[in-house]
A and B are shown apart, each in its own frame.
Chain A
């Protein structure tokens, strides 16, 4: 495989060149989406960052830090509200200790919604200009496999990929693709090959292209158009699809901008 990569410094070499607008709290998801739209950057809605306690504060902070440090990220703008539990400036400081291409701003100190959108677009534009991304050859691909459907056997494709030098992490701890995606993100995989449960639709994750492989289930057969690969795909076909996606082809969920994050929580919200 010849693979195009983007040199993202300390974040590593990625296969996508995404700027991340990271809302550190649910209250700034709308402002973040407005900034992201202007910048053609990636963001996502979530319900975390405040009204939570105990281990979850550290857990979600680490989750967001792992997202921002992902190799597919070119630069990160953290957008906070100001009074939340998970303080955006502390998250940004944590990120900055590893990656200079990070900035943050806070709605309560930026003149409100429009003020934050304006400052956000300016800050994100500056990050892009200051940290250009050289195109390089990806030396080694790290593939994640979401095995929510434990009836699927992946030994054949795993050995074929290992043989051509692909690193593989398999996530099979959950019957839920979303939680498996989170584990794979934290492992730093470039791309995900997802085998969703037979009764689940294809789904995606922000920043990381997700290739969905159908099972032969009635649901998957009914919505076969929404899968990147059919149930009877050969290892060669799977490898060919991975190669195209790594080199820029959008997956089906990537093309429609789907990709919700499902971050696990230990404690009830307060």
Chain B
């Protein structure tokens, strides 16, 4: 029998698997101060980014990403650093609407200097951390788990070991009532018809196909054939031959459950079931988009190995092969290469991964969390040079 799931219940009924105090700069110029506060605090986390208030074609996407990330249920509280422009204050409002109950605001124009921000921010962070510590985990339903699936640095074993093992764990979670999300539109290109056939309605199937077609149009519009850039050089060195082969392997992460719907980038994941979200394959943009959509735990399969993590969403790394898992052990949480080695079955490793997801959900730290890998990237659709 599985162990019980415990989590932090938020005032709006959402569940957090972590209890972070996040320092979030609403302007790139405050990134250094946000990092400084987090570094000097008793355990707050911070992110850095390169947005400085531009209102261009990507404005809505950036606002959605930052506000959603701030409101992720894994955050006990978010401390915003702002110059106080209406657009920045709008992001804070939006985060509150999304369910962020503890939003603290450090307004630079009111406080007068970055030095003051750093000083007050540190006191504020430590006092919130103290409050956060006083909150306990309680027994939670399986629907508390919002799992994001990700792969990066794929190799020839991805589609045989780690991805299908994640599929086994995902199927089991979906059956129990959790949410599970497949993303990376880039990486299902060529496999979309197989996923569409698993949609609960023809309309949802058509949306999966259209999301991929729309993606390909947005790239072709730039005069580039995706098939010239994918699989990436790292994938080819890892033994993958074509984009379709990569996609067929990537889609294995989603197991065999039916798709209950399609999300746009960073849409809020509220209901149980298996979903597809339109995200870039770019690892940290996807991690960030998942966090913005309220996903509270991520499984990241990798063939080549990557240290990447999120400031607020625990990210479990699953190796596709034993050679890599042995060579870079401090960034791998589970080795699925044992399937290819003939030591374990797919169902064994799928079960181990399910158990690990539960342990991590209950508070066990991932390698990326221990290493303080807090990457954050804003996904953009448009040219950023002409502003």
B161-172 interface bits toward A, Cβ cutoff 8 Å, 1 = contact, 0 = none: 000000000000
Closest CB of chain B to A190's CB: distance in Å? 22
Stretch at the interface among A4-12, A69-77, A153-161, A253-261: A253-261
Docked-complex contact B237 and A226, CB < 8 angstroms:
no
Stretch at the interface among B251-259, B276-284, B345-353: B276-284
Docked-complex contact B36 and A257, CB < 8 angstroms:
yes
Q: A47-B285, A264-B385 are in contact. Are A223 and B52 (CB under 8 A)?
A: no
Q: Does B73 lie at the interface of the complex (its beta carbon under 8 Å from any beta carbon of A)?
A: no
Residues of A within 8 A of B153 (CB): 81-83, 108
B-side interface residues, number (CB < 8 Å):
73
Q: Does A265 lie at the interface of the complex (its beta carbon under 8 Å from any beta carbon of B)?
A: yes
Closest CB of chain A to B215's CB: distance in Å? 9
Docked-complex contact B224 and A82, CB < 8 angstroms:
no
Docked-complex contact A112 and B328, CB < 8 angstroms:
yes
The CA-CA distance from A204 to B29 in the complex, in Å, is 8
Q: Which residues of A in the span 96-126 have a Cβ within 8 Å of any Cβ on B?
A: 107-108, 111-115
Cβ-closest chain A residue relative to B284: A26
Docked-complex contact A260 and B31, CB < 8 angstroms:
yes
Residues of B within 8 A of A114 (CB): 330
Q: A30-B373, A53-B224, A111-B328 are in contact. Are A46 and B109 (CB under 8 A)?
A: no
Docked-complex contact B375 and A256, CB < 8 angstroms:
no
The CA-CA distance from A226 to B186 in the complex, in Å, is 43
Residues of B within 8 A of A137 (CB): none
The CA-CA distance from A162 to B234 in the complex, in Å, is 50
Cβ-closest chain A residue relative to B282: A51
Q: Does A262 lie at the interface of the complex (its beta carbon under 8 Å from any beta carbon of B)?
A: yes
Closest CB of chain A to B108's CB: distance in Å? 6
Cβ-closest chain A residue relative to B234: A83
Q: Does A266 lie at the interface of the complex (its beta carbon under 8 Å from any beta carbon of B)?
A: yes
- Give the secondary structure class of B's interface: loop
Docked-complex contact A226 and B83, CB < 8 angstroms:
no
Q: Does B381 lie at the interface of the complex (its beta carbon under 8 Å from any beta carbon of A)?
A: yes
B349-387 interface bits toward A, Cβ cutoff 8 Å, 1 = contact, 0 = none: 000000000000000000000011111111111111101
Closest CB of chain B to A108's CB: distance in Å? 5
Cβ-closest chain A residue relative to B372: A30
The CA-CA distance from A177 to B28 in the complex, in Å, is 11
The CA-CA distance from A222 to B283 in the complex, in Å, is 39
Q: Does A200 lie at the interface of the complex (its beta carbon under 8 Å from any beta carbon of B)?
A: yes
Q: Does A225 lie at the interface of the complex (its beta carbon under 8 Å from any beta carbon of B)?
A: yes
Docked-complex contact A223 and B112, CB < 8 angstroms:
yes
Cβ-closest chain A residue relative to B383: A266
Q: Which residues of A in the span 17-76 have a Cβ within 8 Å of any Cβ on B?
A: 26-31, 45-47, 50-54
Residues of B within 8 A of A107 (CB): 305, 307, 328
Which of B30, B113, B387 has a CB less than 8 Å from the CB of A179? B387
Q: Does A269 lie at the interface of the complex (its beta carbon under 8 Å from any beta carbon of B)?
A: yes
Docked-complex contact A262 and B282, CB < 8 angstroms:
no
Q: Which residues of B in the span 204-256 have a Cβ within 8 Å of any Cβ on A?
A: 218-219, 222-224, 226, 229-230, 232-235, 237-238
Which of A47, A112, A256 has a CB less than 8 Å from the CB of B330? A112
Cβ-closest chain B residue relative to A201: B29
Docked-complex contact A50 and B27, CB < 8 angstroms:
no
Closest CB of chain B to A98's CB: distance in Å? 24
Docked-complex contact B29 and A260, CB < 8 angstroms:
yes
Q: A53-B229, A179-B385 are in contact. Are A267 and B224 (CB under 8 A)?
A: yes
Docked-complex contact A82 and B383, CB < 8 angstroms:
no
Residues of A within 8 A of B223 (CB): 54
Q: Does B75 lie at the interface of the complex (its beta carbon under 8 Å from any beta carbon of A)?
A: no
Cβ-closest chain A residue relative to B329: A112
The CA-CA distance from A50 to B234 in the complex, in Å, is 10
Docked-complex contact B112 and A174, CB < 8 angstroms:
no
Residues of B within 8 A of A260 (CB): 28-29, 31-32, 48-50
The CA-CA distance from A28 to B387 in the complex, in Å, is 29
Q: Which residues of B in the span 4-55 have a Cβ within 8 Å of any Cβ on A?
A: 27-33, 36, 48-50, 52-54
Docked-complex contact B375 and A108, CB < 8 angstroms:
no
Residues of A within 8 A of B218 (CB): 268
The CA-CA distance from A213 to B181 in the complex, in Å, is 48
Docked-complex contact A50 and B283, CB < 8 angstroms:
yes
Residues of A within 8 A of B381 (CB): 268
Which of B50, B372, B383 has a CB less than 8 Å from the CB of A46? B50
Which of A29, A50, A223 has a CB less than 8 Å from the CB of B232? A50
Residues of B within 8 A of A45 (CB): 31, 48, 375
Q: Does A150 lie at the interface of the complex (its beta carbon under 8 Å from any beta carbon of B)?
A: no
Docked-complex contact B115 and A27, CB < 8 angstroms:
no
The CA-CA distance from A212 to B65 in the complex, in Å, is 30
Q: Does A202 lie at the interface of the complex (its beta carbon under 8 Å from any beta carbon of B)?
A: yes
Closest CB of chain A to B195's CB: distance in Å? 19
Residues of B within 8 A of A178 (CB): 28, 50, 52
Q: Does B197 lie at the interface of the complex (its beta carbon under 8 Å from any beta carbon of A)?
A: no
B112-155 interface bits toward A, Cβ cutoff 8 Å, 1 = contact, 0 = none: 11110010000000000000000000000000000000000100
Q: A107-B328, A200-B53, A265-B384 are in contact. Are A113 and B371 (CB under 8 A)?
A: yes
Docked-complex contact B52 and A108, CB < 8 angstroms:
no
Q: A27-B307, A51-B282, A270-B226 are in contact. Are A200 and B52 (CB under 8 A)?
A: yes
8 closest Cβ contacts across the A-B interface?
A83-B234, A51-B282, A264-B385, A47-B377, A112-B328, A258-B32, A83-B304, A203-B29
Known: A26-B377, A47-B50, A112-B307. 11 other contacts (CB 8 A): A26-B375, A47-B282, A83-B234, A83-B238, A83-B306, A108-B305, A112-B330, A203-B52, A260-B29, A269-B379, A270-B219
- Complex A-B: 9 CB contacts under 8 Å: A47-B282, A53-B229, A81-B304, A83-B237, A112-B330, A199-B53, A201-B83, A268-B222, A270-B226
